[in-house]
Structure 1
Amino acid sequence: MESPIGRIIVACSIGVLCSIGIVTNAVLISFYIRRPVMRTSTNVYLVHKAVSDLISLLPFPLHLAEILGSGWIFGDWVCKVVASVETLCMLVNANITFAMAYDRYVAVAKPGNGLQRTVTTARNHVAVSWLYGLMLVIPAATASWTVVWLPKEPAPGWLTCGYNWPAGEMYHSIYFGSLLVLFYAGHYLVYISFVYVAWGRVKQSKDEFLTRHDTVQRCRAVASVLIINFLGYFVYWAQHAYTMITLGEDQIQVPHIPSGLLDPLSVASTSAVYIVASGNLFLYSLSMDQWKAVTMDAVHCRCGPVGGRGVVQPFHAESVAVIDVTAAVDDDPPHAINSNNVHRDSDNDSFVNLSHHSDEELEIQDVSI
């Protein structure tokens, strides 16, 4: 990887991957903003995860310059901002993923609570996730600085963006070791318990569960996010574990990942982080008909709300628009709805037809664009 060709290959690969991630996450967010029908409680989590991933991808040109140049050339304060933002986005990503996993657990294990999982509740959870992440990123923001990386790759004395811990590598081990236990191992142990309990609930009424088409798709989307995050961050945390094990306690300068380091584990860790951040739109479109419909609409230039309705017209004519009870839709005229079968969604100021209510998802009359 020390050769110029190796650097160019790594830089081009990361550049293409991050460019795809920035474009797809931006498109995903625009779908959510432009299509009011997309504003469901589950999509609140999915879109804010995309927001954190988009922000984490923005500094990638600085890492490319580090790879192609002679190390980190942007100074200490830019390093501090970049390391803080990327660590914050990783923590927020983990928090939001946990929140939507719990949301799906409640949807499956306690289906009677469907009306309590509102868009406002999801937004509150997202706000708490960002605040919690801001609190936890303070140590990393304090320690992040331009450091000298002593191992031979890319070159002895290579300048990179990293952490200059006041008491040596021990602080790095304590901080990132705590995050490893709390946000990776701890979260996935909880996810396993969620799956165990929810699967027991599903086995009791499997046929009924499979008829809840929207719930099944949402669970599939969240499960795919959990699997991709597990694989990607396994490589990320493997790099940190290797650093904590191999560096001596007197090593006060530790690299940040993603970085411009070119040893195989650092390249794999950087690539894994970027892959996790870039695959949201693909995962959502493969898992949920709703996201697939708006994506296909965009591909075929059927974009944007028409006539102020902003409701998705499924790509397949036979598709039925199925959303959860908390979806934000434009107000229908009160006289057009049977007053015996309506629920006033106070979070979104909209009427929702409850005549065929199956816990969280409802069949609604599709509005043509």
Structure 2
Amino acid sequence: MSAAVTVFDVGGTHIRQAWWLPGGELRARTSRPSPSFRRFPRADVAELRAMMVKDLCDAVPKTPGAVAGVSFGAALDHRSGLVYASAPLWGEHSKPYDLRAALTARRRDVDWHIVNDVTAALLHAAAHPGRGAHRKILLATVSSGIACRVIDRRRGLIPVDSSGLQGEIGHLPAHAELAGRPLEATCDCGKPGHLAAYSSGPGIARAAGVLKEREPSRWSHSRLGALTAGGLGFEEALRGALDERDALAGELLDAVTAPVADVLRTALCLDPEIDEAILTGGVVHGLGDHYRRALLTSLARQGLYLTSEHTPDWWERRITVTAPGEADGLVGAGIATRAGVTVAGVSASSGAAA
């Protein structure tokens, strides 16, 4: 492959786009809002999907041999590109959708390659030279949705199950407590008590609303309450309050990261070959070191049986929080156009050498 590839990273909030060059460089980055159910609340899912397909197809230049790589924020079959569901984009709707067929029908001149956005981010992160000796790497994204992937670098594969899936942790049952009481919330997929209901970007905002209702006096006297009352957006207000060491903001962050820590603890307990667990996504990037510290605090509070006792820095050496651009779905979408897809899973042998 010698020509530049048009790459997309489609999330519940934004569609990012760029040119990916064979050497891994990105050029001409752009970003625009995604056609999601939150942005167009009166549109049905068929209309939202049609808007998405039109947007992507119109954005690929009409050149001979055009190739497009799509990092897509949805649970999908990595063997075929069939999309099962995307709560951040389409809410509760879960009727399978052949995205590749829809894109090809509109632009038959384009060679379309589709992977899940977490898979794409992992392909980029795993390509870093400093991770060349790792056996396995887990990457979890915490954004408008939550999911993770694990790559086995020795086999060069991201294994998938019989449905072409892996790591849809955002829809695992979870438990969270806030202000001394259980937190109850419904996921964007329509089911109650999922991890994403508490710990995704929208989930954290919902939890903040519950905290404000349960502790009105503490909220009004906190920096988080003052910043939001002053008109600052919630994400920025939370980061600002944490920067100022606001106790209420810290309590909120501890509550919503604890369920994520539970999943990581279980994953690393069951598979000790995971040499690094990488956290990425809009929530992680927005909160930075605050997010990592909250995770490590929870993991230290209730660690791995005996391992935490015999190796006190075990978590510290394995938990990484990325900065923007270090696990980029745009780069991963480009790598995927070269790596391709196998029936056993996403082949990452080409990407690992990038």
- TM-score under structure 2 length normalisation: 0.26
Which one has a bigger Cα radius of gyration? 1
More helix by share: 1
